[in-house]
Amino acid sequence: MREKMKITKTDGPPNDILKFKTLEVENELNLTPAQVEDVVEIFNTPLTGAYNWDYTVADNRIKKLYELGKELNWNGSIDLNWDYTHPANERLIQADEDLPHETLEAYENLSDEEKIEFDRHDTAELLSQFLHGEQGALLVASQLTSCAPTYNAKLYAASQTFDEARHVEVFNRYLQEKIGMHYPINKNLKLLLDKILTDERWDLKFIGMQIVIEGLALAAFQMLKGLSKDPLLTQLLHYVIRDEARHVTFGINYLEDFIKTLSPEEIEDRAEFAYEACVISRERLINTTAMQKYLKMSEDEAREFALSTSANATFRNFLFSRIMPNLARIGLLTDKVRPKFEALGLLEYENAPDDFECNWDELEKPLEKFGEIPQAI
């Protein structure tokens, strides 16, 4: 019998872990009525849309990126090897003495089974943030399709909307089928998404999306891909990274020209917005719930320990070596905000390579198949 649609409105995201039980049934999952219920949080934004009556593409680089997106589309249902399931007694993420828990006595005192259980929860907490972040990117991209003023920006935002929908689909499926749980959204990530989604200015959405959110995504995905022991997860991340690299390159190419059309006051306003988004981003992937449960830490202890690890340093390097040169390229590292970035210790990244000139040969390569992508041993 067909289930009736049920939508429940809430004042905020859920706080509890949602668990799924995989069974041999016609559907992939034996979902309870509560799990098929749509739980939604309403947000309001004074969005102003724009028609465009000049159907010309002015920038051949952006047109090429748009065409590449069409050519290299992949189907999350059939192009990823969902038949593979990682052995239940093996870790999903490579053991590393520099990861947040490997050298702790509390971790060593866990049984082998508890260590695997902790690995699953720790990975689920991180991948859940990817899932929530990709939903945020989906919502922002759909907003940009409506409110971006130029023809090429509308076309690319529409194609990016489809990319982000695919990313939501595959992260959700992996979490449900291969790990069996969702973690709630990190409060700092929620704050960043709210800031971008509810701003009425389309170009601030563009800056927040293409520079900050996509920069975050690439940094986090690259970090986890380098640690993944599950070839399905490695393949999934590799495909998503290919998409995100195109998104960032598009954003830099488009915004560099657009920012030049603004007044000095408007540029300073955008520069301050980018700075505030970067402050929030530093805390984006500090996830502590699994550490608190398994390593008997307080939230503050887990946070401080996670911030001190080389894994966090690697993420920070991935993140700001992309964001800072891109902000400099598009003209948003102004004299007024530079001291603020200096106080955060981030100006050291401004001379790293930016994403204006992409590696076309790399972007045009056919997608590697399952088992062809290097992964952690």
Instruction: Tell me the domains of the chain and their CATH numbers.
Output: 60-364 (1.10.620.20)
Is the pLDDT at 223 greater than 90, yes or no? no
Mean pLDDT throughout 226-241?
A: 95
8 Å CB contact between 365 and 83: no
Structure confidence at residue 26 (pLDDT)? 40
Please state, in angstroms and rounded to a whole number, the distance separating the CA atoms of residues 85 and 90.
11
At 83, is the secondary structure helix, strand, or coil? coil
As separate numbers, helices (DSSP H) first and strands (DSSP E) second, the chain gives 14, 4
The amino acid occupying position 168 is V
* 3-state secondary structure at position 210: helix
Question: What's the whole-number mean pLDDT along residues 8-12?
Answer: 83
Note whether 49 and 149 are within 8 A (CB).
Answer: no
Contact 205, 140 (CB under 8 A): yes
Query: Any long-range contacts for 216-219 (C-beta under 8 Å, 24+ apart)?
Result: 216/133, 216/281, 216/284, 216/285, 216/319, 217/130, 217/133, 217/134, 217/137, 217/244, 218/244, 218/245, 218/248, 218/318, 218/322, 219/315, 219/318, 219/319, 219/322
Given pLDDT bands bounded at 50, 70 and 90, which one contains residue 228? very high
d(CA 239, CA 241): 5
Determine the average pLDDT of the residues in 12-29. 68
The predicted structure's pLDDT at residue 29? 52
* Longest CA span, the chain: 66
pLDDT tens, 39-58? 778 887 778 888 888 887 66
The Cα–Cα gap between 189 and 286 comes to 10
What are the tens digits of pLDDT across the range 50-93?
A: 888 888 766 677 888 888 888 889 999 999 999 999 999 999 99
**Three-state DSSP class for residue 39:** strand
What is the pLDDT averaged over residues 109-122?
Answer: 93
What is the pTM assigned to this prediction? 0.89
Nearest-angstrom CA–CA distance, 264 and 246: 29
Task: For residues 8-17, give the mean pLDDT.
Answer: 85
Residue given tokens 């194609």 in the structure block = 159
Cα separation, 71 vs 67, in Å, equals 6
Inform me whether the pLDDT recorded for 23 exceeds 50: no
